[in-house]
Amino acid sequence: MAFEPPPRLVRALGETAPAQDAWLAELPAIAERAVAGRGLTVERVQVPGGRSSLVVLVRRADGTPAVLKLAPPRARPESERAALAHWGGLGAVQLLEGAPADAEAGVLLLERLHPDVSVRSLPEAKALLEAAGTLRRLWVEPPAGPVFETVAERTGRQATAMRAGAEAAPEAAALVDAALAAREELVAAPPERLLLHGTFRQSKVLAAERMPWLAVGPDPVVGECAFDLARLVRDRVEDLIAAPSGAAIVRRRVKRLAESLEVDQERLRGWTLFRAVESGVRALRVGRPKDGELLLEFAGWL
């Protein structure tokens, strides 16, 4: 079978690929080896799939349905493996194999969920409720040792890129300054240190058999819960921007999510601001002006 990466994956990785990166070109061969080495039968490549990995629906030798996920090193797949192993299927997709010594880096074999059914299929209020409940189950003590990047480390790298990106988007300068100031205050005294999903949103919560909903695709990080919840605040941003009372809806959403998950409302607002501005500036930098403008308009409401 030809393991052709979906256009969405090609576009997304093209935005962030370092010079001379050959992972996409090598992907078909990597997939062939992963399938053959595990005795898998391929059903199909998931389309449109994700923005950082190839997802292949497969069956194991005993007929059990599974998912083979292949990701480039810059997507930190081994960090994802470690987080999924630590969660052990509680709130997240189950890892079906460890890390064999001969396994190719960036290859994960996962429990099969319902890849075409996420909580985004639910009405907005219900979707937020189910997503928040799933997220709460992931907030656990991290394993001992420096296994995962911290929120301060990750946002420090992002802050550096934001400053550089703001030079190409002077209209965003005031928002960048506000976001960077918020980050400095937030990282100074985090209220807790837990394992976080890192890139949580409604589309990362899929229907499952053993539980109604399970999270997928973490980019795990260690830090405070408000950082994780912040990305959920801006879900369906296009609808928020189009709504006549979008700003009021966002403020109510911040309040409701903070109260339901017992997170400080101002810290959630601050991380929502930082993450929206960071994503907006990055979108402008890589040539997605519509996305960037939407995110910056949203950030201006905070």
Task: For residue 212, give Cα distances in angstroms to 83, 113, 160, 227.
Answer: 21, 10, 40, 25
- In the block, tokens 């998912």 appear at 67
Token duo for residue 165 = 């990106």
Report pLDDT for 80: 95
Average pLDDT (65-82) is 93
Domain 7-112, CATH class in plain words: alpha beta
pLDDT tens, 152-175? 999 999 999 998 877 767 888 999
Quick check: 278 pLDDT over 60?
yes
- In the block, tokens 């960048």 appear at 176
- In the block, tokens 């209020």 appear at 125
Report pLDDT for 167: 76
**Residue 287 neighbours by CB distance under 10 Å:** 9
Residue 270 · residue 145 · CB < 8 Å: no
Superfamily designation of domain 118-300: Aminoglycoside phosphotransferase (APH), C-terminal lobe (3.90.1200.10)
Average pLDDT (108-133) is 94
Reported pTM: 0.93
In this structure, which amino acid lies at residue 279?
Answer: S
Write down the mean pLDDT value for the chain.
Answer: 92
Max CA separation in the chain (angstroms): 58
Residue 301 · residue 246 · CB < 8 Å: yes
Report pLDDT for 23: 87
- In this structure, what are the phi and psi dihedrals at residue 301, rounded to the nearest 5 degrees? -80, -15
Quick check: 103 pLDDT over 60?
no
The residues that bridge with 110 in the sheet, in sequence order, are 67, 95
Token duo for residue 181 = 């100031």
Quick check: 100 pLDDT over 60?
no
Banded pLDDT at 50 (limits 50, 70, 90) = confident
Quick check: 101 pLDDT over 60?
no
Report pLDDT for 145: 84
Nearest alpha-carbon partner for 201 in 239, 232, 233 = 232
What span, in angstroms and rounded, lies between the C-alpha atoms of 169 and 147? 35
Question: What are the residues whose beta carbons fall under 8 Å from the beta carbon of 255, sequence distance 6 or more?
Answer: 265
- Report the sign of the C-alpha dihedral through residues 70, 103, 36, 209, in that order: negative
Token duo for residue 163 = 């400053």
Domains of the chain, by residue range, sit at: 7-112, 118-300
Percent with pLDDT over 90 in the chain: 76
Quick check: 102 pLDDT over 50?
no
**In this structure, what DSSP letter does residue 170 have?**
G
- Where does 208-269 show beta strands of DSSP type E? 213-215, 221-223
pLDDT tens, 196-255? 999 999 999 999 999 999 999 999 999 999 999 999 999 999 999 999 999 999 999 999
Report pLDDT for 12: 82
- Where does 120-248 show beta strands of DSSP type E? 194-196, 205-207, 213-215, 221-223
